[in-house]
Amino acid sequence: VGNSENAVLSQVYVAMIVHLLLAYLKFRSKIGWSLQEMIQLLQLNVFKRTDLEAFFKPPGKISKIDASYPLLAMAS
């Protein structure tokens, strides 16, 4: 965090990289959520060690909500 030209450019580049990575994860997982919803879920689970592609991957056929799928377990 800074006010110099290099600090501001670094912050812009990091924000662009994060946006592109999330857009790529959204494309790969074929999830129907917005990028804002994905960012909110990541903020809630920032310290949880999870493969991001597996985290956003939609589940197969589920008969009940359980802890094996992180997004559904968080909603229950």
pLDDT at 46: 81
Say if residues 62 and 52 touch (Cβ distance below 8 Å).
no
Could you tell me the residue ranges of all domains in the chain?
5-51
pLDDT at 76: 47
**In sequence order, what DSSP letters do the residues of the chain get, joined into one string?**
--SSHHHHHHHHHHHHHHHHHHHHHHHHHT----HHHHHHHHHHTTTS---HHHHHSPPS--SS--TTSHHHHHH-
Question: 10-67, pLDDT tens digit by residue?
Answer: 999 999 999 999 899 888 888 888 888 888 888 888 888 888 777 777 666 555 555 5
